[in-house]
Chain A
């Protein structure tokens, strides 16, 4: 386990840029689950989240030389994942509009949740989790991503500001407003 943190993310990236593919595997190992969680909370679809995660990790591989050490590796990776997630959501929205325009009046769209659940969790917790997840989807995307990054991923405001490329004050106020909006949605 000591070997796991032998190198910082930035050192691993430098090694990967100079051709060490093991460094890439280590980066994937470190970020895979965190990213999957972030993307899923944003797009609310496990399969889509996996596709976006794959696109993100492939882009890290193919565009490794675009990373400059002036930024943290984590912020660079989250920025890529966030951009892919937004693009996929936009595509899905467009597809839904087209589907609805071709749908008959008796047709219905069912979305079956496919979440890997921990067996020891109680029913009540699962229910509120789903409620929170639904409430997150009701937020506009410029509120949703900062609140996920802060309250689920537990990133710092400074990092979130860099990932989203918005001023620190804007990030703070968006998170503050998103929390209050979530709270009132859950109360309904």
Chain B
């Protein structure tokens, strides 16, 4: 046993917690090292002194002060137990959120329900598509394809300028006088 091991086992030795083989080893070290024996004795003395230290007591007015404070605490909003802070196993905040979501879902569901009493069915109805006779031809008979293209071009405004007749002043009654100077 070296010095480090000896110091590690010191408390166990004093408190009689060493197994027989370790105890024997420890005592052999003590026999060989007088400083070890000295250390054991001084720690034993220290422990005895600590055990016999006087008891410090609270002052005589302590209980009165304590009861006053307890009374004040009783008037405060009480601290509830962790169990009481849950409702149906949920924290108040989470339960509140769940209730709001549930109310929302019920409200949306009510809005989706038909109000005239007809039944909602998941079976797909047999729907036959039919068009009025005038929609069967996408191009009405009185409008030809070329005309439509021309109309598109006209809408740009470029063609308009080319097709318009030039502005004729004479036709509008204007007279030209020659400059005498």
Contacts and interface: CB of A to CB of B under 8 A. Distances in A.
A128 B49 contact: yes
Contacts of B63: 28
Nearest to A38: B56
A55 B137 CA distance: 93
A54 B69 contact: yes
Q: Which secondary structure dominates where chain A touches chain B?
A: helix
Given A54-B62, A61-B73, A180-B43, A36 B57 contact: yes
B54 A176 contact: no
Nearest to B11: A176
Contacts of A154: 51
A22 B69 CA distance: 16
Q: Which secondary structure dominates where chain B touches chain A?
A: helix
Nearest to A68: B82
Contacts of A142: none
Contact of A65 (B43, B50, B80): B80
A179 interface: yes
Contact of A53 (B10, B51, B52, B58): B58
A40 interface: yes
Contacts of B51: 151-152, 154
Contact of B81 (A66, A117, A132, A173): A66
Contacts of A61: 70, 73
B13 to A, nearest CB: 10
B58 A32 contact: yes
Contacts of A175: 11
B86 interface: no
Contacts of B69: 54, 58
Given A65-B81, A180-B7, A183-B43, A132 B50 contact: yes
A129 B53 contact: yes
13 contacts: A40-B56, A50-B59, A58-B70, A61-B70, A65-B84, A121-B54, A128-B49, A152-B51, A152-B53, A172-B11, A176-B12, A180-B7, A183-B42
